[in-house]
Structure 1
């Protein structure tokens, strides 16, 4: 059974969802895949996974790096999970490219699945905590954020990233 809760952040309302294994979703209200994996029957409330995620968000939105990751239950294909695990390794306050992320997620390093990686980054169900906002185009393009480029910019600035080095769409 999934449980949902909401969090009011400086960049808008956030929907959080968990199941019995951990946090399964965190979506900005502008996310193109908002609530896409919610079960038909869920309850609204609080539990240890949602509380932990809110604690993480409180620290993050104070402009600080949280020193823990809430219990996550990543749901997707094996490839998507490898991409999301690669995203979790991007250090706070830094960025990486889709190409570098593809290198880390690919099993066959000779054939980089850059488009598939972009698709997996875009289908990340747990934004911010699984930091897809830290992925940029190889030519320093600020591209591909499901919650909107304006939110991506605000999240990067919050982490102290100098966004003047990037090209805006």
Structure 2
């Protein structure tokens, strides 16, 4: 309504805006301090209600600055504003997934991170074991082929990864 009527929307709750007078805010860290997302509105819509595929983020930011990607700009925009690449703890991520699966039909998980697998093998080892034992739903994720190792691929497969 504000856009249609030409009214500023700076004061709408939960909307972050950038104008000439306010600075770019610092990045949130650690991510675990964020509240669980409220998916009720999204999953009540017809398309999402019928879909048993649910999407999750395990992180924010990407360590790469590919020229074709928006992260190239974000790296410059958020320079000096905190740690750019941040990951949720495995505990938080598993809790969020289980919360969704307790409320909605979920037969497949899509991790929508720019780069799900990063250099932290310890995070992936913990995730792989806990996901298999506490969630056990097939999933897919995005990654960079030049950063993946055979051991990482084995961990993803054991966890239930069906496609990359």
Higher Rg of the two aligned structures: 2
Q: Same fold (TM over 0.5)?
A: no
Between structures 1 and 2, the one with greater helix share = 2
Tell me the TM-score normalized by structure 2: 0.31
Tell me the TM-score normalized by structure 1: 0.31
